[in-house]
A and B are shown apart, each in its own frame.
Chain A
Amino acid sequence: MTDFASDSILVLVTVTNDGQLATSAAGLLAAATSVGTPIALVVATPEQAVGAAAEAARLGATTVIVVEDARVSSVLSVPIVDALCLAWDLMNPDAVLIANSIEGRDVAGRVAARRRSSLAADAVGVSRDDEGVLVHHSVYGGSYDILSATSTGSIVVTVRMGAITAHAEPQPLVIERLRHAPSNKSAATIESFTPAPAQSSRPELRGAATVVSGGRGLGSLANFALVEQLADSLGAAIGASRAAVDAGYVQQSCQVGQTGVSVSPQLYIALGISGAIQHRAGMQTAKTIVAINKDADAPIFDIADFGVVGDVFTVVPQLIEALEAKKKQ
């Protein structure tokens, strides 16, 4: 049995339905590497475990703990929580890093409750001082930076997806297999799962360098194609306001804002979005903001680096044309 370093950081890497690691794994392992010795935990069906472990090592895990459990596809959260607690007891980590995804939150909450540890949610980074691991948060739409820690013991941290873009050096694959010890805690049954349609060639919204978002001003599902055209011209991800999601122009996973995704891209372009405070909460930390809106008083202009008072249906096609012309030069 391996001896684990005293500065071990346990990282839950999520295995998706098709056996790949979720895109959050790279950032989590990079964050762990920056504050200690990164140990990944893979909980997967036997067919998927080895491939996922190799990928975790490539992303920087010095040891990959593998727990094979066929229940992961039929029992919600609890098999992963059981495995995480088993790994925790082996190494007594300084911190446990988990993606702030829908699945990750549930696992983090259960693990923190079971181990009675501190929990820090929606971190945008981690660092270390003499006393231990520090957790960085960005709250109220990026208006405040907060630093938190635990009074004592290990801390469970959920890390905002896309917030950490660093990569750790690949490590040789060292696998530690653990025999599962099911807790038999009550859990929900997964009756069926339909994977989201395969990602297009567009970048993921979280972590994208450029985001083009559309709002109610687009007026219809058909018109929303204009947002996609500009996004494709810039190699950007697609975002939206809640009003555009509610109107059915685009799926909910594209929603930017208070109750959607928080993004901090290099460039954010808002098309036909008024800039309600809840929308701004999800994008005002972008490096550069460009907005096009018919209404000169739209609040989006208060935070735009370059604002155009105009009609998206005339301005955007001209913009796309100019960008395409530039590419041909």
Chain B
Amino acid sequence: MKIIVLMKEVPDTYGERKLDPETGIADRAASDAVLDEINERALEFALAHADRNPDTEVVVLTMAPDSATASLRKGLAMGAHSAVHIADPAIVGADYGVTAEVLSAAITRLGFDLVIAGNQSTDGASGILPAMIAETLDLPQLTNLTEISLDDSIVRGTRATDEGVMTVSAALPAVISVTEALAEARFPSFKGILAAKKKPYEMISLSDLNITIDDLSVPRSILIAVAEKPPRQAGVKVDDQGDAGQLIAEFLISNLLA
């Protein structure tokens, strides 16, 4: 079984995140870049499957600037067998359409039985890409899975939706996305970090995928304006002297909130 895990590098949610006021693109210099936590959980699922099924091959795939190498290498250090990194000056600020097209082409080139993504990336909170890739490659998508069972031919999972809980299944190949209900990721071991240095790490560009994205007739998302909002200020802070419950009630009532 060959599993491709889609990895995205994002601004660390623990830091202050900034957007470039001109382009609206993440200001990479302003905050640390890390692998999105949800992608580490997705990789953990793939690696745990590989632990139980030694004929499993796990490839980590990203579309990101050159600088994302360290993040993708972390995936190798955790245990992925190889990494593919699509980097190209043309894809800076790519919209969903471009991202889906490029990742789909790379996925096809690699060959696969299962593609695993995170349910949503923390810098976009869109959760769009897995379905776009599924449509582009004519695959079933099973998104937002909280539990997964996988064998050689079928993937089945429990899916939390806004209306209830669903059991879904599909024959492989398929695209799935996972939620943070899945197990936290393992830490890379020292041995893993050393081994990662010898693992295949392929950098590819759009021309390797035979893709050009400069056709102006193709609709693209464009940014019209970006405005930073002033940070919120702290208000009153009181130590409870035995009457704090009463004070909050008065505050709420005087502000017509209760």
A165 on interface, CB distance cutoff 8 Å: no
Please report the total number of A residues contacting B with Cβ < 8 Å: 98
Apart from A267-B252, A292-B248, A316-B245: 11 A-B pairs, beta carbons within 8 A:
A107-B131, A108-B131, A109-B130, A112-B132, A139-B19, A185-B138, A188-B169, A190-B167, A191-B156, A192-B167, A304-B237
Contacts of A258 in B (CB 8 A): 13, 122, 125
Q: Which of B124-144 contact A (CB under 8 A)?
A: 124-136, 138-144
A150 on interface, CB distance cutoff 8 Å: yes
Interface of A toward B, CB cutoff 8 Å: 16-17, 22, 76-77, 81, 100-103, 105-110, 112-114, 116-122, 134, 139-140, 142-155, 158, 161, 185-196, 210, 234, 242, 252-253, 258-259, 262, 266-267, 277-278, 281, 284, 288-290, 292, 296, 301-311, 314-323, 326
Please report the total number of B residues contacting A with Cβ < 8 Å: 90
Q: Which of B178-223 contact A (CB under 8 A)?
A: 179-181, 216-223
Which A-chain residue is minimally distant from B234 (CB atoms)? A302
A110-B134, A150-B219 known; A309-B124 Cβ under 8 A = no
Give me the 5 closest cross-chain CB pairs, A-B, nearest first: A318-B245, A310-B240, A109-B131, A121-B126, A322-B249
Residue in B136, B217, B221 whose beta carbon sits within 8 Å of that of A120 in the complex: B221
Could you tell me if A152 and B257 are in contact, using CB atoms closer than 8 angstroms?
no
Contacts of A186 in B (CB 8 A): 134, 138-140, 170
Q: Which of B34-84 contact A (CB under 8 A)?
A: 38
For the residues of A in contact with B, the DSSP-based class is: mixed
A319 and B174 CA atoms in complex are apart in Å by: 52
B109 on interface, CB distance cutoff 8 Å: no
A321 and B246 CA atoms in complex are apart in Å by: 8
A105-B127, A119-B96, A189-B168 known; A148-B249 Cβ under 8 A = no
Could you tell me if B96 and A122 are in contact, using CB atoms closer than 8 angstroms?
no
Residue in A101, A145, A301 whose beta carbon sits within 8 Å of that of B229 in the complex: A145
A290-B248, A307-B237, A315-B248 known; A189-B226 Cβ under 8 A = no
Could you tell me if A187 and B222 are in contact, using CB atoms closer than 8 angstroms?
no
Could you tell me if B255 and A288 are in contact, using CB atoms closer than 8 angstroms?
yes
A180 and B174 CA atoms in complex are apart in Å by: 25
Could you tell me if B17 and A307 are in contact, using CB atoms closer than 8 angstroms?
no
A158-B128, A288-B257, A309-B239 known; A134-B163 Cβ under 8 A = no
B243 CB to nearest A CB, Å: 8
Residue in B133, B144, B219, B236 whose beta carbon sits within 8 Å of that of A307 in the complex: B236
A113-B136, A266-B257 known; A303-B240 Cβ under 8 A = no
Residue in B179, B234, B244 whose beta carbon sits within 8 Å of that of A303 in the complex: B234
A146 and B23 CA atoms in complex are apart in Å by: 11
Interface of B toward A, CB cutoff 8 Å: 13-17, 19, 24, 38, 95-97, 100, 120, 122-136, 138-144, 156, 159-170, 174, 179-181, 216-229, 231-240, 243-253, 255, 257-258
Contacts of A142 in B (CB 8 A): 229
A316 and B239 CA atoms in complex are apart in Å by: 14
Could you tell me if A118 and B95 are in contact, using CB atoms closer than 8 angstroms?
yes
Residue in B124, B141, B218 whose beta carbon sits within 8 Å of that of A188 in the complex: B141
Residue in B100, B120, B250, B258 whose beta carbon sits within 8 Å of that of A259 in the complex: B120
A77 and B251 CA atoms in complex are apart in Å by: 48
Could you tell me if A17 and B246 are in contact, using CB atoms closer than 8 angstroms?
no
Which B-chain residue is minimally distant from A321 (CB atoms)? B245
Contacts of A16 in B (CB 8 A): 163
Could you tell me if B234 and A307 are in contact, using CB atoms closer than 8 angstroms?
yes
B42 CB to nearest A CB, Å: 13
Could you tell me if B162 and A22 are in contact, using CB atoms closer than 8 angstroms?
yes
A83 CB to nearest B CB, Å: 15
B95 CB to nearest A CB, Å: 7
A34 and B35 CA atoms in complex are apart in Å by: 39
Could you tell me if B141 and A106 are in contact, using CB atoms closer than 8 angstroms?
yes
12 contacts between A and B (CB under 8 A): A17-B163, A100-B126, A100-B127, A105-B126, A113-B135, A119-B96, A144-B228, A242-B180, A252-B181, A262-B125, A310-B239, A323-B252
A310 and B239 CA atoms in complex are apart in Å by: 6
Could you tell me if B132 and A113 are in contact, using CB atoms closer than 8 angstroms?
yes
Could you tell me if A303 and B132 are in contact, using CB atoms closer than 8 angstroms?
no
A105-B126, A110-B132, A307-B235 known; A151-B164 Cβ under 8 A = no
Which A-chain residue is minimally distant from B143 (CB atoms)? A106
A326 and B181 CA atoms in complex are apart in Å by: 41
A307 and B232 CA atoms in complex are apart in Å by: 14
Could you tell me if A259 and B248 are in contact, using CB atoms closer than 8 angstroms?
no
A158 CB to nearest B CB, Å: 7
A308 and B241 CA atoms in complex are apart in Å by: 10
Which A-chain residue is minimally distant from B31 (CB atoms)? A140
Residue in B126, B144, B168, B222 whose beta carbon sits within 8 Å of that of A150 in the complex: B222
A187 and B166 CA atoms in complex are apart in Å by: 15
A190 and B97 CA atoms in complex are apart in Å by: 27
Residue in A112, A194, A267 whose beta carbon sits within 8 Å of that of B96 in the complex: A112
A76 and B244 CA atoms in complex are apart in Å by: 51
Contacts of A161 in B (CB 8 A): 162
A157 and B166 CA atoms in complex are apart in Å by: 25
A17 and B156 CA atoms in complex are apart in Å by: 21
Could you tell me if A151 and B216 are in contact, using CB atoms closer than 8 angstroms?
yes
Contacts of A277 in B (CB 8 A): 13-16
A154 and B164 CA atoms in complex are apart in Å by: 32
Could you tell me if A305 and B236 are in contact, using CB atoms closer than 8 angstroms?
yes
